Amino acid sequence: MKYHCIAALTALIAVSSPAGAETCSLAQMASLDMTILPDGTFGVPVSINGTQHLFRVDTSAIFTTLTDAAAQKLGLKRYQADGMEMYDVGGKMHIAYVDADSFKVGNNEAKHFHLMVSPVQQDMPAEVEGRLGPDMLSLFDVELDFTAKKVNLFSQDHCPGKVVYWTRGGYAEIPFHQTDGPIKVAVHIQFTMTLDSHDLLTDFSTESDATWLRHKAAWQFLGIDEHSPGVERSRTDSEVGQIYRKRFEALHLGGVTVQNPMVEIVPDQFDNSFRMVHSEKSRDDPIYGKQLRPESLSLGMNVISKLHTYIAYKERKIYVTAADAH
């Protein structure tokens, strides 16, 4: 499930980092065991006020979130995030948060860390108690090694481009756009991918088990709807309704090509919900209007898990090889 932030929640983050000048050597800040979840996504251990929890890694979120059940279990006081709107794909709004005295990822600790509270958990396994989002992840470089089942965090103080240490072979280097939120933390990692000769704005989403295309974009850019040849029913989601799917010819990302990818076509309700809340002036005013510009395609774990990926947030680049490259 994906959130779209319209206004700000102030959070102060203090994470330990090595001192000294930039060096070409990579300094590892943490190496976290990756727990592969039943739906194909993955989680890592975190600590909240000294207790251990399993959080799903969500590169496409905005804030790190805690489930409602976990917030109650921890006895954390809930606050309303005034001036904030957050929508999921089902069109529901979420605006509550809690303040954790200590939030740790490995040995890296944030004091008085704000976690948004997610009121539902139906899209997550019971053992998962939250999502680790870019407000924490973007303070590091993040390596996703699915062969070793590790999420490695590195200091961003290194020479640009000197990050692919696991292979002597070739790799893809993909620049990405990083939409900064109002509190100046990274939000979505967005870049252009080519799906059957169509360039589409794409979101890198470890939260999603599938690669999916918004229904509106499928029709607008590819001329595809549920009645098109090759499109079949996939499943029904309780929040968004009927989901379709289609096997495309090829998906290109930099120098990496995925042949015959299966892509889901998903109706997205948050766009309609946003328009219901905001007036025509708010929607259209170039100065005061709130904007909603969702990506067309979401690259999910059915593709990401086949890659070895290094996300260099400071450089705004992703470095990619095959998962088994050496």
Nearest CA-CA partner of 97 in 109, 111, 113: 113
Task: Flag residues of the chain having pLDDT under 70.
Answer: 1-23, 82-94, 119-123, 178-187, 268-294
Q: Are 250 and 260 in contact (CB under 8 A)?
A: yes
Secondary structure (3-state) at 242: strand
The predicted structure's pLDDT at residue 272: 53
Structure tokens at 92: 């529901």
The predicted structure's pLDDT at residue 237: 82
The predicted structure's pLDDT at residue 254: 82
The predicted structure's pLDDT at residue 94: 57
Q: 10 Å Cβ neighbour count for 246?
A: 21
Structure tokens at 38: 């039943």
What predicted TM-score, i.e. pTM, was given to this entire model? Answer: 0.82
Q: What is the enclosing helix (H) or strand (E) of 43? A: strand 42-48
- How do 307-312 and 262-266 pair as beta strands? unpaired
Q: How far, in whole angstroms, is CA 79 from its chain's centroid?
A: 24
The predicted structure's pLDDT at residue 281: 47
Outline where DSSP puts E strands in 181-261: 186-195, 198-204, 211-214, 232-237, 241-247, 250-253, 256-259
Rounded Cα distance between 312 and 59, Å, is 13
Query: pLDDT of 1-37, one tens digit each?
Result: 343 333 333 333 444 444 444 568 999 999 999 999 9
Rounded Cα distance between 46 and 48, Å, is 7
Name 98's bridge partners.
78, 115
Rounded Cα distance between 317 and 23, Å, is 18
The predicted structure's pLDDT at residue 245: 97
